[in-house]
A = this chain, B = another copy of it.
């Protein structure tokens, strides 16, 4: 009895007949042209005192650019060098910054308004794609089916918005409008969009409103997507490498998971924009407009590889992380 041959996931342990490719197999087979290089200038590189490296892809325009601009200035000023990871709350966040709260911020940081948490009437989105290859994940690609497949079901969507998609490789929720109220369709025109708090997303710590944070205090999600934070806090990127160096840290035992003793904190050696880092790998993400991504998203929502007996018939956006790899 092979009790260890459990839970199919990223890779197959033993060969077996495969009714359909697994998501990982689809990604592995994606042609080179389906991958989009992430410029080093859009990466934020955190080197920990432990020698471990965490790489963050910064939020692309048109989202959160005020905070992203501040983060570039903070990195250029070496603000985070010698700071630390101060908070690890289970199933929630890892947070880092200046634990003394006395370090002087560099000049030129802007104060960003709460209105920037959301992009309204996102005519400027231009190249956004909802699901793969310009298709709407929920309405075309992924049919959310009930247990009884003979009984066609309503089309469910995001539990926190009307729909979801991807911009520059990062997850975004959207509200549709332009048409009558319920009963439901059609509402096809995006009237608002915002980045969402999936696992590994990076946000800006802040004080009570109307404070919106500068970007000096950052956190990343290490648990089930805390979507209640969407539209309440700025999201500025996503950890694309090394999240395990943060998510496996000991949990803090103080309120909100803050460490109670300074010695518990993990030191941060430096945080730099990628262009300042000499030994940085080149990263690329699977274009969400590619046919490979559409197939991957479908396979995530409807696993038909050998381990599975019932495809889920759907997925929430955080179940479809955009694949990232080191460029070959």
Chain A residues within CB distance 8 Å of chain B: 1-7, 9-11, 13, 16, 86-93, 95, 97-99, 101, 105, 114, 117-118, 144, 146-148, 151-162, 175, 177, 181-184, 191-192, 198-200, 203, 205-209, 213-214, 216-217, 219, 223-233, 243-244, 247-251, 255-258, 300-301, 303, 306-316, 318-319
Q: Name the 8 nearest CB pairs between A and B, nearest first.
A: A6-B205, A3-B217, A244-B251, A228-B312, A90-B244, A147-B175, A147-B192, A154-B184
- Please determine whether B224 and A199 come into contact, CB atoms closer than 8 angstroms: yes
Q: Closest CB-CB distance, A40 to chain B, in whole Å?
A: 24
Knowing A181-B152, A224-B199, the reply to whether A307 touches B208 (Cβ < 8 A) is yes
Kindly report how many copies of this chain are found in the complex they form together.
Answer: 2
Sample of 8 further A-B pairs with CB below 8 A, known A7-B233, A209-B308: A1-B105, A4-B99, A6-B219, A154-B183, A227-B315, A231-B309, A248-B248, A248-B250
Which residue of B is nearest A243, CB measured? B90
Knowing A154-B182, A184-B184, A228-B319, the reply to whether A207 touches B90 (Cβ < 8 A) is no
Q: Closest CB-CB distance, A307 to chain B, in whole Å?
A: 6
Residue from A4, A98, A227 having most chain B Cβ neighbours under 10 A: A4
- Please determine whether B118 and A144 come into contact, CB atoms closer than 8 angstroms: no
Chain B residues in 8 Å Cβ range of A181: 151-153
**Residue from B152, B182, B231 within 8 A of A182 (CB atoms):** B152
A118 to B309, CA, bound (A): 12
